[in-house]
Amino acid sequence: MSSCALVIDDSAAIREQVIRTLQDVGLFEQYREARDGMEGFKTLIECKADLVICDVEMPRMDGYKFLQLVASRPDLQGLPIIMLTGKMDFNSKIRGLDQGASDYLTKPFDAGELVARVKVQLKIKSLQDELKQANEQLKRLTNIDHLTGLFNRRYLAEVLEAEFFRAKRNRESLSLVIIDIDFFKQVNDTYGHQNGDVVLSSVAEVVQQQMRAYDSAARYGGEEFVLVFPGTALEGAVIAAERLRQAVIDHTFPHPLQDLTVTVSAGVATYPSTQVDNIDALFRRADEALYRAKQNGRNRVETMPV
């Protein structure tokens, strides 16, 4: 993606001078212009910039109001904004910095100083972006089961709480499916625990393939998986569970498991119902349904009593 700078100033001459100065050192591939804060903000919404150079005093909307608009948008947080001012008023600079400005430059500006300040802000932004990516990766690692790549039990609790609250608020359905790999102990005893891990990760891959983008799947523990289906009533969740059950049967494992056929049992419960009015009840009813599936011969899907 190409880099872009946005220059906001009511003076066409100043805009041209800033852009020409930055073009001479090749800091950006694209440049956009705006004549005041309102036009600049609309430009930002249409096409994100990597850095903004904005005049303080402009007609219709000045630089301070522009900063306030940028601060109101979470997607624009961290955007470097260098303010241009013709005043040496210390209080005005403090006001701008308090409202989100990254730096100040006094007009008429020196070309070398402009380039230096822009480079500093771009470096800071680069470091912040790297830190953000590292934090997101760390968060992902703390939420993911390392073997299966599905969410872990801790994060499942957060997802389920959020989805239950949304379903209750919007008066929508929420279904929970608990899946257990049948006779998994025999797989470990016959093929060894290392190959048992291959089975777990393979079944998890099948689970992930069957899920919609807004569904959630987690490894609950051992050979159990929990699936969360927002906006899905009991009938739809049963269809999804049956489709998954068949997909596991049809799955081919790598050597030395190529002749192995794995089946799963599943229990389904849905909110709202006369038996489910909280998360614990939803989980309990799904677990009871899973128990019936095991009692009734495994390799089947059972539901909570309607």
Rg (CA), the chain: 29
> Which listed residue (223, 235, 288, 302) is catalytic?
223
Residue 170 has φ and ψ, to the nearest 5°, of -95, 0
> What percent helix, strand, coil does the chain show, rounded to 5?
50, 20, 30
**Is 130 part of the annotated catalytic residue set?**
no
What distances in angstroms separate CA 219 from CA 144, 162, 213, 224, 255, one per listed residue? 9, 18, 17, 6, 24
Residue 111's CB is within 10 A of a number of other CB atoms, namely 14
Polymer length of the chain: 306
211-242: b (≥16 Cβ within 10 Å) or e:
beeebbbbbbeebbbbbbbbbbbbeebbebbe
Q: Which residue numbers are catalytic?
A: 223
